[in-house]
Structure 1
Amino acid sequence: MAVHWTCCIPRECINIERSSLLSDREWEALYSKAEEYLCRNDDVFDDSIRHVVVMNTIQHALPGRGVRSLPLAVQRNEDDPSLADVAILVVDARPCEFEAGFQAGGQTREHSVLARLLGVTQLAVAVNKMDAIEWLQERFNEIVQKLGQFLKQAGFRESDVKYIPCSGLTGVNLIQLAEKDKLSMWYKGPCLVDRIDAFKHVQRPLEKSFRCSVSDVFRIGGSGITVSGKIASGHIQVGEVVAVMPAGDQALVKAISIHDDSTQWAVAGDHVCMTLTEIDISKTPVGSMLCDPSNPVRPVLKFRARIIVFNIEIPITKGFPVMLHYQSVNEAAVINRLVSVLNKNTGEVIARKPRCLSKQSTALVEIEPARSVCVELFKDFKDLGRFMLQSGGTTIAAGIVTDIIQ
Structure 2
Amino acid sequence: MSRNTKMKQIAAEGIDDHYHSEDDEQFNSEDEEIIEDIIFHYKNQFTKKEVVRILDKHNWVEDDVYDALDDLKKKREQKQNKVTEEKKQPTGGNVLVKKQQNQNQQGKSNNDQAAQLTKQASSSVTAASTSGATTAPSDKSKAGEYIKIERDVVKFNQAYPSVEYDIEADKKEENVKNMNLVIVGHVDSGKSTLVGHLCHLKKVIDQKLAHKNEKESKNIGKESFKFAWVNDEFEAERQRGITIDIGYKVIQTKNKNITFLDAPGHKDFVPNMIQGVTQADYALLVIEGSLQAFERGFEFGGQTKEHAFLVKQLGVQRLIVLINKMDTVNWDRNRFEYIKLELTRFLTSIGYSEDNLIFVPISAFYAENIVEKSKLPEAGWYEGKCLMELLDTLPVPTRPVNTPLRLNIYNSFYQKNKGLIIQGKVEGGVIFEKSKALIMPQGLVVTVKEINRENVKVKYAKVGENIDVHIVHKEDCEIRSGDVLCSIEHPIPISRIFEVELSAFELSYPILKGAQIVMYINTAKCPGYIKKITAILDKANGQITKKNPKCIRNNECAIVEVCIEKENCMELFSNFKSFGRVVLREKMNTIGVGSITKIL
TM-superposition CA deviations, 1:280-328 (whole Å, max 9, x none)? 3416443221111111112112000011221221321111111111122
Q: What is the match of residue 358 of structure 1? A: 553
1:53 and 2:261 are equivalent in the alignment: yes
Q: What is the match of residue 321 of structure 1? A: 516
1:251 and 2:446 are equivalent in the alignment: yes
CA distance in 2, matches of 1:284, 1:130: 44
- Aligned CA-pair RMSD: 2.8
User: How many Å apart are 1:349 and its aligned residue?
Assistant: 1.5
What amino acid is aligned across from residue 262 of structure 2 in structure 1? V
CA distance in 1, matches of 2:280, 2:383: 28
User: How many Å apart are 1:89 and its aligned residue?
Assistant: 0.4
Q: Contact (CA 8 Å) 1:304, 1:367: kept in 2 or not?
A: yes
User: How many Å apart are 1:46 and its aligned residue?
Assistant: 5.1
CA distance in 2, matches of 1:308, 1:149: 19
User: How many Å apart are 1:106 and its aligned residue?
Assistant: 4.3
CA distance in 2, matches of 1:361, 1:277: 47
User: How many Å apart are 1:31 and its aligned residue?
Assistant: 6.4
Q: What is the match of residue 505 of structure 2? A: 310
Q: Contact (CA 8 Å) 2:405, 2:430: kept in 1 or not?
A: yes
What amino acid is aligned across from residue 89 of structure 1 in structure 2? L
Q: What is the match of residue 2 of structure 1? A: 178
CA distance in 1, matches of 2:428, 2:300: 36
Q: Contact (CA 8 Å) 1:213, 1:289: kept in 2 or not?
A: yes
Question: What is the 5 A alignment of 1:57-206?
Answer: 57=265, 79-103=275-299, 106-184=302-380, 186-206=381-401
Q: Contact (CA 8 Å) 1:6, 1:52: kept in 2 or not?
A: yes
1:301 pairs with 496, 516, 526, which one?
Answer: 496
1:403 and 2:598 are equivalent in the alignment: yes
Q: Contact (CA 8 Å) 1:8, 1:87: kept in 2 or not?
A: yes
Q: What is the match of residue 287 of structure 1? A: 482
CA distance in 1, matches of 2:481, 2:311: 23
TM-superposition CA deviations, 1:330-371 (whole Å, max 9, x none)? 211111111111122321222211111222221111011100
CA distance in 1, matches of 2:330, 2:574: 48
What amino acid is aligned across from residue 320 of structure 1 in structure 2? A
Higher mean alpha-carbon deviation, 333-342 vs 144-153, is at 144-153
TM, length-normalised to structure 1: 0.84
User: How many Å apart are 1:124 and its aligned residue?
Assistant: 0.7
Sort the Cα spacing of 1:367 and 1:395 in 2 relative to 1 into closer, same or farther, 3 A. Answer: same
CA distance in 2, matches of 1:384, 1:154: 22
CA distance in 2, matches of 1:205, 1:313: 40
Q: Which has the higher strand share?
A: 1
Sort the Cα spacing of 1:195 and 1:254 in 2 relative to 1 into closer, same or farther, 3 A. Answer: same
Runs of 4+ in 1 over 4 A off after TM superposition: 28-31, 36-39, 76-79
User: How many Å apart are 1:143 and its aligned residue?
Assistant: 1.9
User: How many Å apart are 1:14 and its aligned residue?
Assistant: 7.4
Q: Contact (CA 8 Å) 2:324, 2:363: kept in 1 or not?
A: yes
1:375 and 2:375 are equivalent in the alignment: no
Q: Contact (CA 8 Å) 1:31, 1:169: kept in 2 or not?
A: no
Q: Contact (CA 8 Å) 2:265, 2:303: kept in 1 or not?
A: no
Identity rate, percent: 25
TM-superposition CA deviations, 1:119-175 (whole Å, max 9, x none)? 111211001122222212122122222222322232223222211101223332222
1:385 pairs with 557, 577, 580, which one?
Answer: 580
Q: Contact (CA 8 Å) 1:117, 1:399: kept in 2 or not?
A: yes
Q: Which has the higher helix share?
A: 2
TM-superposition CA deviations, 1:60-95 (whole Å, max 9, x none)? xxxxxxxxxxxxxxxx99953111110000112234
1:35 pairs with 207, 226, 231, which one?
Answer: 226
Sort the Cα spacing of 1:32 and 1:103 in 2 relative to 1 into closer, same or farther, 3 A. Answer: closer
What amino acid is aligned across from residue 11 of structure 1 in structure 2? V
TM-superposition CA deviations, 1:171-206 (whole Å, max 9, x none)? 32222211142001x112112222222222111121
Sort the Cα spacing of 1:105 and 1:309 in 2 relative to 1 into closer, same or farther, 3 A. Answer: farther
CA distance in 2, matches of 1:78, 1:400: 15
SS at match of 1:219: strand
CA distance in 2, matches of 1:399, 1:281: 35
Sort the Cα spacing of 1:237 and 1:131 in 2 relative to 1 into closer, same or farther, 3 A. Answer: same
Q: What is the match of residue 271 of structure 1? A: 466
Q: What is the match of residue 67 of structure 1? A: none
Query: Where in structure 2 are there 5+ consecutive unaligned residues?
Result: 1-176, 192-217, 231-247, 253-257, 267-271
What amino acid is aligned across from residue 178 of structure 1 in structure 2? S
Q: Contact (CA 8 Å) 2:274, 2:523: kept in 1 or not?
A: no
Q: What is the match of residue 430 of structure 2? A: 235
CA distance in 1, matches of 2:480, 2:337: 49
TM-superposition CA deviations, 1:210-231 (whole Å, max 9, x none)? 1012212222234652211111
TM-superposition CA deviations, 1:229-260 (whole Å, max 9, x none)? 11111111112111221222321111001122
What amino acid is aligned across from residue 5 of structure 1 in structure 2? L
Q: What is the match of residue 108 of structure 2? A: none
**Which structure has the larger Rg over C-alpha atoms?**
2
SS at match of 1:297: coil
SS at match of 1:225: strand
Q: What is the match of residue 30 of structure 2? A: none
CA distance in 2, matches of 1:358, 1:77: 25
User: How many Å apart are 1:276 and its aligned residue?
Assistant: 1.4
Query: Where in structure 1 are there 5+ consecutive unaligned residues?
Result: 16-27, 40-44, 59-75
SS at match of 1:363: strand
Q: What is the match of residue 208 of structure 1? A: 403
Sort the Cα spacing of 1:38 and 1:393 in 2 relative to 1 into closer, same or farther, 3 A. Answer: closer
What amino acid is aligned across from residue 448 of structure 2 in structure 1? V
